[in-house]
Homo-oligomer: A and B are copies of this chain.
Amino acid sequence: MNLHQYLKERSEQVDAALDRYLPPLDAVPQRLHEAIRYSVLAPGKRLRPILVLASAEAVGGKPETVMPTACALECIHVFSLIHDDLPCMDDDDYRRGRLTNHKVFGEAMAMLAGDALQALAFELIADNAAVVAPDRVVAVIKRIANAAGTWGMVGGQVVDIESEGKDISAETLQYIHAHKTGALLTASVLAGAILCGADAAQQQALERYGRSIGLAFQIADDILDIVGDQEKIGKPVGSDEGKDKATYPKLYGLEESRRRAHAEVASAVASLEGFGEAAEPLRAIARYIVERDL
């Protein structure tokens, strides 16, 4: 399959859907909606929504059926980026090559835009019940809420902050990655499949797939922060190291980190053994993670 073409088509569909689902600019409070749209509609890979769509396909579903949930995952991801960039957190001025939300709209508006995006995410998933059985929707909400909060993304962010400037163990680094980014990626993969009626065995396989690509993705990000160029990753190269953040290359070295990223991708692809042709996009996405100039 042509992954480049697939990603382009899917991300265009996601962008169009986000534009429909996000609060319009002519509704009150307009400045909030500007702030929300500024960050959500900034150019991005749309990895989480595309994983939702691809996992729906992998179990025989139609991607358009799960579009509201796909967009919800992007809303949660972007909400976390906006809050992460605030002065009381990472204090970043740039994100995806543009000024961060609070640099344009102010801190209060940025925080509230993030809060509104999290609420909107759960409203969108609930809306998915218009075309999907409600018990599946509830299962997905439970899973995504769990992955967004203290047992996932937020928990990982807290441990990440607490680890700044400290020597951390391999276990802690693993904890941070599995929670801060891995939990939401895994939830994305599971969401599309659950909504389209995946059975327990399929869900287990996709959960393994999600964990592996989540870890591979984070290791790849750590590596790119060292060897990548600023244009491609949208933030200054070496910005993690400058903050004395825990990273894979710091703990294992560059070569061993590369080896681990590739091993996780192989294991992700192996998890999909029982799936047919329909899982080809998921396999291609896994391989793509380590092909980004590592």
Contacts and interface: CB of A to CB of B under 8 A. Distances in A.
Interface of A: 23, 28-29, 31-33, 36, 79-80, 83, 86, 88-89, 106-109, 111-112, 114-123, 125-127, 129, 133-135, 137-139, 141-142, 145-146, 148-151, 154-155, 157-159, 161-162, 175
11 contacts: A29-B159, A88-B107, A108-B161, A111-B111, A112-B157, A112-B158, A115-B118, A119-B154, A123-B142, A123-B146, A123-B149
Given A111-B83, A142-B126, A149 B116 contact: yes
A175 B29 CA distance: 11
A126 B114 CA distance: 22
Copies of this protein chain in the complex: 2
Nearest to A139: B126
> Chain A at the B interface: mostly helix, strand, loop or mixed?
helix
Given A118-B119, A155-B29, A162-B29, A126 B145 contact: yes
A133 B138 CA distance: 10
Contacts of A115: 79-80, 83, 114-115, 118, 148-149, 154
A107 B109 CA distance: 16
Q: A-B pairs with the 6 shortest C-beta distances?
A: A119-B149, A88-B107, A123-B145, A126-B142, A134-B134, A119-B148
A183 to B, nearest CB: 11
Q: Which of A114, A129, A150 has the most CB atoms of chain B within a 10 A radius of its CB? A: A150
